[in-house]
Amino acid sequence: MLKKKAILIALSLILAGGLSFFQYQYFKSMAENDKKIQVIAAVSDVKAGEKVDAKLGIKVIPQSAYVKEMYLANEKVTGYAKVDIAAGSYVLKSMISHEEVPVLKEDMRRVTIGVNLTSSLAGKIKPGDVVDIGWVPKDEAKDGASKIVAEKVQIYDVVNKSGEDVKKADKNNQYDKESLIPAAVTLIVTPEQAVTIKEYEAKGSLFLIGY
């Protein structure tokens, strides 16, 4: 009886040792096969709207952790942060804009107005642009003459009638040219300006005045 137990214990130890050895070899092989690559990461905190050029560095990661949204070390990254990027974080392509990004400050608000091709400067507008807001009344005898209701406000976003970013629309699609025409513009304004703009929109037509 004792002999059988000893044999079973010995077999168990051999199996356990063999399993441990094969596990070690497997994970060692995985580690050797998982090559390291260099990607772009933030070396210090980057606030939304800030230029990123001087705040980026290189970080080494396992190749298995790489995703296509990351920048490789040999790619030049320049532009502005769309979102806050914490120090040490990987920089993703969706986080960077090549154009200046409008930033909503703490005391400011966003308000959206309806536009069309003519009231949006023939569609030649983009986030970050600064414009004045003009107004034409429905009833001039009742509401007074046309005037400027807000000056030097920044455009936050421009979308088409489907609510899609106009900049991302397919310019080569000859069957859907309307996707390139702005239908709504979101502006960065003070709370008081937001109320004023919407009041005037209800009493007439608003249009953008470019610089």
The structural domain count of the chain equals 2
Please give the pLDDT value at position 153.
Answer: 97
Name residue 184's amino acid. A
Helix runs in 34-95, H state only: none
Q: Does residue 172 fall inside a structural domain?
A: yes
Domain that holds residue 43: 36-97
pTM score, two decimals? Answer: 0.65
Q: Do 154 and 116 fall within a single domain?
A: yes
Strand residue runs (E) in the chain? 36-42, 56-62, 80-81, 96-97, 109-114, 130-137, 147-159, 184-189, 204-210
Strand duo 80-81 + 109-114: pairing? unpaired
Please give the pLDDT value at position 16.
Answer: 65
Q: How far apart are CA 201 and CA 138, in angstroms?
A: 10
Cβ proximity of 180 and 123 under 8 Å:
yes
DSSP class per residue in 122-143: GG---TT-EEEEEEEES-HHHH
Q: Which of 70, 97, 124 is the last residue of a domain?
A: 97
Please give the pLDDT value at position 59.
Answer: 95
Rounded average pLDDT per 10-residue block, the chain, 211 residues: 61 66 61 80 94 94 92 94 94 91 91 97 93 95 94 95 79 68 96 98 97 91
Q: Do 115 and 185 fall within a single domain?
A: yes
Q: Does residue 5 fall inside a structural domain?
A: no
